[in-house]
Chain A
Amino acid sequence: MTSVRRAAVIGGNRIPFARSNGAYAEASNLDMLTAALDGLAARFGLAGVEVGEVAGGAVLKHSRDRDLTREAVLGSSLAPTTPAYDVAQACGTGLETVVLVANKIALGQIESGIAAGVDSASDAPVALNDDLRRVLMKLNGAKNLQQRIAALAGLRPGQIVPELPRNAEPRTGLSMGEHAAITALEWGITREEQDELAVASHRNLAAAYDRGFFDDLVTPFLGLSRDSTLRADTSVEKLAKLKPVFGTRGKNAAAATMTAGNSTPLTDGAATVLLGSDEWAAERRLPVLAHVVDAQTAAVDFVHGEDGLLTAPVFAMPKLLARNGLTFADIDFFEIHEAFASTVLATLKAWEDPAFAEERLGLDAPLGPIDRSKLNVTGSSLATGHPFAATGGRITATLAKLLHEKGPGSKGVISICAAGGQGVVALLEGA
């Protein structure tokens, strides 16, 4: 084994993200992931090239999507001898694939790899009713007529109702938005600051598109060439007119702040990131935009404990910074996934809170405030939308390009919250 080296982020490709039941209503996860891989292959001349591995995943998967990533590789222009595997960590999936591929490159196990993620809220799996499924499994296992009749006797009219995927935590029954609303209330996040963050996201994304920033990060798909959620002309005034949709029940209903305007809509899309060793990049004359320096995951007990569902990055970030001897003052770009505007704002407040730092993070002082002009400078999920597993790849490629523009030694962090009370954060350095 060779010594540990830093994996290079060479570039990325994603398809524009589409509001669910919109432009990609008829597209499957496989279609979208294959298209994103093909766009990446075209950008970096990888047609027919064997890449070290492709790690990918989707949060919402059909049973037919077993080995989704490998199937996408086989359908793409990459060499069919490129190995691939699926990863699942809710909305952390995309960034986790980056970490996995980067670590293998760091250890010298592979020279190149692609991290990927995809999700469709339009083509979501609808499964058989669980009771019906059990009857059918029993029928399948029956060895004689008697057993078959016995199995069929288990059929009930109610079993015709299918299992629909729900955007709800299995252990609390609350939707992600309801969980976020609890956190927003706890941290006293106002409607105005959420709407301001949402407007900034749309304006930053629109400006980035206009200056051609995404020319080498996005490849059109099915007639869409920009994210369909993007509203370049939105304003705080327009967003103020929307009615709250989360936290609208119970005793705090009057204090509800989260609207469709400051929450990410369900979205379809796919994203990929090309990583490699510096040597591999140099051999192929490919650019090195940034290096993956470090990453950290964390999880919180949102079921029984006092922490919010989407607050795990609050705990992961201080560990990441401490291990690398950094403070917020050293960071040039903060990419904090905007699951909800309130999630970002609650995360920032937790990092600024001295009591929280001392009691919960075990720090003498809080991480402190961040310069808002360094936050999500080319927009984030509120404007692009958020196809769950695709967000990590979108952010990694975007940040790597920003760091490359900023210059060698510049630093950026990524923070992604995930269902199940999990979070993934990563540190990149510009090359």
Chain B
Amino acid sequence: MTGDLLRDITQIGLVRKLGVPRIPVLRRYEPGAPLLDGPALVGVIGAGRFAEPIRALLTAAGVADAGDEGRIAAVVLDASAVRTIDELAGVQQFLTPTMRRLQPCGRVLLIAPEPDPADPEAAAVAQAFDGLVRSIGKELRAGATANLLVTTAETDPAALDPSVRFFLSARSAYVDGQVVHVGPPVGRAVDPAAAGDPAPADEPLSGRVALVTGAARGIGAAVAETLARDGATVVAIDVPAAGDALAKVANEIGGTALQLDITAPDAPQRIVAHLEERHGRVDVVVHNAGITRDKLLANMTADRWNAVLAVNLRAQLAINAALGEVLSDTARIVCVASTSGIAGNRGQTNYAASKAGVIGMVRALAPQLAPRGVTINAVAPGFIETEMTAKMPVATREAGRRINSLRQGGLPVDVAETIAWLARADNGGVTGQVVRVCGQSWLGA
């Protein structure tokens, strides 16, 4: 239930006959669902190293090769070896015939090289993929998305697997027009033989201990539920006043509730002590807790400013600083930022500053944590249908919903799925990234 009445009306046959464009119902992940609900086309330009492993991944996942005719559920193009404008033309040649074959909620996933500063043409071509993929996202209809993975010469094809799975699957329903760098996995190289059994495909977070702040409702509750669905044991945190809702979430997912105010001076120590006592470690930390205290800057008070900065930014910094040894050697930290932190938002100077600050923190900590095998990333939700947005004035809410490529608001689970992808132990190649879950919003692109 999204409360998106307009989307529901456009599903009615008569309304469509009147020429009202249909707002797509997005394909979303259900446990046990196939990776794709149709065949896929995998192409390669030049000496790309990723096409073959991706074909193998798709075959193993039961996805058929689309061939030259008929509908396709996903197009993947390994353009990682493209360095010249002539080669870039090959990208257009390959993609153009696929556009009309793409079925509803189809996927376009491009794999591009990192810009090479020593070669101006190669750097230009690498950057060209940004504009290309974002334009494809805006041209696609019926819930289809386009995203870009940027690779380096060191990127291990296996490190790409979790990202390929995520962007092709229904888990990435509301992630569109995004550019994600995938490098070599952080930390020491792990001997696959010593790494133990890989997590089962339907429970990729099996055996992992996850901490989620702000888990009593909204996006945080969806994150807790999604991580638990993927096999994680969840420690759900929220303020004591939200304890009843928090207990409900924890009991439904077989996790535990920890009531505390993350802005309390002793909160980081209490969190670490709790994790050490109950679990001995933490594998996934999701900094989701956040508040708004909106006012135009002209009317802003120090209380409102400080309250937002304390919860949204200072607490994340303090908890990260305290985690230390309790972080496991495949730990993943995911910080919830916001598109407001990227694009700015009228009346949200405090909120946008805090969320932009989160992005700054992520970029600073990523290289510090990498040698330990730990990644840190930010997820920036756009317009997500929550209790908070349900209270917005109708006009503001309608505008927020429609000004993106998918012409609708996202759901809390869309943010949660993105976090679950970044939380995987085998996703060590993605760090220091900011992934927007915004349906390719016009704001902050």
Taking CB atoms and an 8 Å cut-off, the chain B residues in 239-280 that contact chain A are: 240-244, 246-248, 250-252, 254-261, 264, 266, 277-280
* Across-interface contacts of A219 in B (CB, < 8 A): 243-244, 247, 257, 259
**Contact between A220 and B252, CB atoms less than 8 A apart:** no
Decide yes or no whether A225 CB sits under 8 A from chain B.
yes
**Contact between B256 and A225, CB atoms less than 8 A apart:** no
- Max count, chain A CB within 10 A of own CB: residue among B244, B254, B279: B244
User: A218 is contacted by which of B240, B246, B248, B278 (Cβ under 8 Å)?
Assistant: B240
Decide yes or no whether A212 CB sits under 8 A from chain B.
yes
| Assembly CA distance A258 to B244 (angstroms) | 36
Nearest Cβ distance between residue A393 and chain B, in whole angstroms? Answer: 17
Q: How many A-B residue pairs have CB under 8 A?
A: 71
* Across-interface contacts of A38 in B (CB, < 8 A): 247-248, 251
Decide yes or no whether A366 CB sits under 8 A from chain B.
no
A221-B244, A285-B278 in contact; A42/B256 too (CB < 8 A)?
Answer: yes
Taking CB atoms and an 8 Å cut-off, the chain A residues in 37-79 that contact chain B are: 38-39, 41-45, 47-48, 77
| Assembly CA distance A219 to B279 (angstroms) | 22
Nearest Cβ distance between residue B59 and chain A, in whole angstroms? Answer: 38
**Contact between A285 and B279, CB atoms less than 8 A apart:** yes
Question: Residue on B with the closest CB to A77?
Answer: B251
* Across-interface contacts of B260 in A (CB, < 8 A): 212, 215
Q: Mark B388-400, 1 if CB is under 8 A from A, else 0.
A: 0000000000000
**Contact between A220 and B241, CB atoms less than 8 A apart:** yes
Question: Residue on B with the closest CB to A76?
Answer: B251
User: B243 is contacted by which of A45, A48, A218, A285 (Cβ under 8 Å)?
Assistant: A218
* Across-interface contacts of B246 in A (CB, < 8 A): 42
Interface size for A (C-beta < 8 A) is 23
| Assembly CA distance A214 to B266 (angstroms) | 14
* Across-interface contacts of A77 in B (CB, < 8 A): 251-252
Decide yes or no whether A35 CB sits under 8 A from chain B.
yes
Decide yes or no whether A286 CB sits under 8 A from chain B.
yes
Decide yes or no whether A216 CB sits under 8 A from chain B.
yes
**Contact between A47 and B252, CB atoms less than 8 A apart:** yes
Nearest Cβ distance between residue B135 and chain A, in whole angstroms? Answer: 48
Taking CB atoms and an 8 Å cut-off, the chain A residues in 210-239 that contact chain B are: 212, 214-216, 218-221, 225
| Assembly CA distance A38 to B247 (angstroms) | 7
Nearest Cβ distance between residue B300 and chain A, in whole angstroms? Answer: 28
Decide yes or no whether A83 CB sits under 8 A from chain B.
no
**Contact between B247 and A286, CB atoms less than 8 A apart:** no
* Across-interface contacts of B279 in A (CB, < 8 A): 285
| Assembly CA distance A77 to B236 (angstroms) | 16
Taking CB atoms and an 8 Å cut-off, the chain A residues in 1-46 that contact chain B are: 35, 38-39, 41-45
Taking CB atoms and an 8 Å cut-off, the chain A residues in 292-346 that contact chain B are: none
* Across-interface contacts of B255 in A (CB, < 8 A): 42, 45, 47
Question: Residue on B with the closest CB to A41?
Answer: B251
**Contact between A45 and B244, CB atoms less than 8 A apart:** no
**Contact between B257 and A42, CB atoms less than 8 A apart:** yes
**Contact between A286 and B278, CB atoms less than 8 A apart:** yes
User: B259 is contacted by which of A45, A216, A285 (Cβ under 8 Å)?
Assistant: A216
Question: Residue on A with the closest CB to B245?
Answer: A220
**Contact between A42 and B251, CB atoms less than 8 A apart:** yes
| Assembly CA distance A50 to B247 (angstroms) | 18
| Assembly CA distance A45 to B277 (angstroms) | 13
Decide yes or no whether A108 CB sits under 8 A from chain B.
no
| Assembly CA distance A41 to B254 (angstroms) | 9
* Across-interface contacts of A214 in B (CB, < 8 A): 240
**Contact between B242 and A220, CB atoms less than 8 A apart:** yes
* Across-interface contacts of A80 in B (CB, < 8 A): none
Decide yes or no whether A287 CB sits under 8 A from chain B.
yes
Question: Residue on A with the closest CB to B278?
Answer: A285
**Contact between B244 and A212, CB atoms less than 8 A apart:** no
Nearest Cβ distance between residue B99 and chain A, in whole angstroms? Answer: 48
Question: Residue on A with the closest CB to B259?
Answer: A215
| Assembly CA distance A42 to B258 (angstroms) | 8
- Max count, chain A CB within 10 A of own CB: residue among B241, B242, B257: B257
- Max count, chain A CB within 10 A of own CB: residue among B240, B252, B260, B278: B240
Question: Residue on B with the closest CB to A43?
Answer: B257
**Contact between A225 and B250, CB atoms less than 8 A apart:** no
**Contact between A212 and B254, CB atoms less than 8 A apart:** no
Nearest Cβ distance between residue A90 and chain B, in whole angstroms? Answer: 29
- Max count, chain B CB within 10 A of own CB: residue among A38, A42, A77, A215: A42
| Assembly CA distance A212 to B242 (angstroms) | 14
* Across-interface contacts of B248 in A (CB, < 8 A): 38, 42
* Across-interface contacts of B241 in A (CB, < 8 A): 220, 225
User: A45 is contacted by which of B254, B264, B266, B280 (Cβ under 8 Å)?
Assistant: B254
User: B254 is contacted by which of A43, A47, A225, A286 (Cβ under 8 Å)?
Assistant: A47
A285-B280, A287-B277 in contact; A220/B244 too (CB < 8 A)?
Answer: yes
| Assembly CA distance A287 to B252 (angstroms) | 23
6 smallest CB-CB distances across A and B, nearest first, come from A42-B247, A42-B257, A77-B251, A42-B250, A47-B251, A219-B243
For this complex, 22 residue pairs linking A to B, each with C-beta atoms less than 8 Å apart, are A38-B248, A38-B251, A39-B257, A41-B247, A42-B236, A42-B247, A42-B256, A43-B247, A45-B250, A45-B254, A45-B255, A47-B251, A48-B254, A215-B240, A215-B260, A216-B259, A218-B240, A218-B243, A219-B259, A220-B240, A220-B243, A225-B243
Chain A contacts to B: CB under 8 angstroms: 35, 38-39, 41-45, 47-48, 77, 212, 214-216, 218-221, 225, 285-287
